[in-house]
Amino acid sequence: MLRFLALLPLLFAASVASKEAPPAAADPVLEKRVMALAEELRCLVCQNQTLADSNAPLAEDLRNQLREKMREGRSDAEVVDFLVARYGDFVLYRPPLKATTVLLWFGPLLLVAAGFAVLLRRLLRRRSIEVAEMTAADRKRAAELLAGTQGERR
């Protein structure tokens, strides 16, 4: 037992040493940043895939560009601007709010609002029909019909 305890510090030493070992990937932090940003960007060749997903040669080139710019110390926003300057807002999966994209952003809300307006109008109209009071004449006629005195006029 004592001998085992004596070995314990060695175990810790080993774990410390293993932490200091260089990471296998070139730079996992940078790689993570590249992939996180690439998830937000559209591949121009296969338009419904992100730059991160796509295997198109252009997507690969663009990922390399992202990596290179980031290594130069550019911020995410600067890298995105670099791509937008070349390919337009279309590369962004979250397009900016501009005059040309207002309909894109608020169109669905507008449709929902229109739907609610129609629904509300319908409901109000239905209520006004149901609420219609019977007149005294109506009541009298109904009573007669029920009693069968007059029946249908022949």
Partner 1 sequence: MTMTRFAIPIAIFVALVALLGIGLKLDPREVPSPLIGKPAPHFELPQLRETTRTFTERDMRGKVWMLNVWASWCVSCREEHPVLLDLAASGAVPIYGLNYKDKREDGLAWLKGMGDPYKLSIYDFDGRVGIDYGVYGVPETYVIDKAGVIRYKRIGPLTPQIVKEKVLPLVRELERA
Residue 57 binds partner 1, judged by CB under 8 A: yes
CB nearer to partner 1: give 27 or 89. 89
CA atoms within 13 A on the CB side of 141: 7
Residue selected from 35, 65, 74, 92 as contacting partner 1 according to rule CB under 8 A: 65
Residue selected from 86, 98, 126, 141 as contacting partner 1 according to rule CB under 8 A: 86
Residue 88 binds partner 1, judged by CB under 8 A: yes
CB nearer to partner 1: give 29 or 123. 123
CB nearer to partner 1: give 9 or 57. 57
Can you tell me the distance from the alpha carbon of 53 to that of 38, in angstroms, rounded to the nearest whole number? 8
Residue 14 binds partner 1, judged by CB under 8 A: no
CB nearer to partner 1: give 28 or 88. 88
Residue 149 binds partner 1, judged by CB under 8 A: no
Residue selected from 47, 128, 135, 150 as contacting partner 1 according to rule CB under 8 A: 47
Residue 58 binds partner 1, judged by CB under 8 A: yes
Q: 34 with 62: CB under 8 angstroms?
A: no
Terminal alpha carbon distance of the chain: 114
DSSP 21-44: SPPSSS-HHHHHHHHHHHTTBB-S
Residue 143 parent element (H or E): helix 136-147
DSSP-derived letter for residue 148 is T
Can you tell me the distance from the alpha carbon of 129 to that of 36, in angstroms, rounded to the nearest whole number? 58
Residue 120 binds partner 1, judged by CB under 8 A: no
Alpha-carbon distances of 23 from 20, 26, 41, 85, rounded to whole Å: 9, 7, 28, 35
Residue 27 binds partner 1, judged by CB under 8 A: no
Q: Please report, as ranges, the residues that interact with partner 1 according to CB under 8 A.
A: 44-45, 47, 57-58, 61-62, 65, 84-90
